[in-house]
Structure 1
């Protein structure tokens, strides 16, 4: 499974930190240039988001969503069945390859699926994920 990492061009430190984490694994990965919502004009935002500015989304959140959509389009265009999408501030658990393997085993690909993995407490971020 390929790993896509969303990264703003100017966030080179985050890119290096993610690269260092992923280089410790056998995972194949690719950085995707993020859409910087702050660079979008109000005219562009109104074309993209039907109720902007009333949508209550920040320009950063819109840019993030557009970045994820770019990956989904890439997956469709390149016939990529499964991918692991990360943002560049992610901290990977030591057993990330096991986690991905378990997801692959339960995902039957009968329909598109999205699994959201998150850590809400720094205490558990490096703990082993049980079966």
Structure 2
């Protein structure tokens, strides 16, 4: 799994127990999944359709650095299914895992639209192909 984003836990990210608020972490994950899908599907109009069971395995505290890993699981006709792991950057301890996040590609009308993608594409490869 590739870990694309790091977040520094600040006091405003904590819950009443002085550990990372789960809702804040889920917002970060949702944003990361959306960015991943936008880049893969080459469309800024994607939405989160489904997030499977969330397994909180450890907590994070102020000044910890967490990293968010996203990996594609399946390309559907109009969707992209991802999985996620968040871990503590320093200790490598897993904080949370999510087996399925389904992102749906939308057309201009806001309805699901086929994206025509079948595998991971890297931006550098797209740029090289355009210059040839």
TM tier, smaller: under 0.3
Higher strand share: 2
TM-score (norm 2): 0.26
Specify which structure has the bigger relative contact order, considering alpha-carbon pairs within 8 angstroms and separated by 6 or more residues: 1
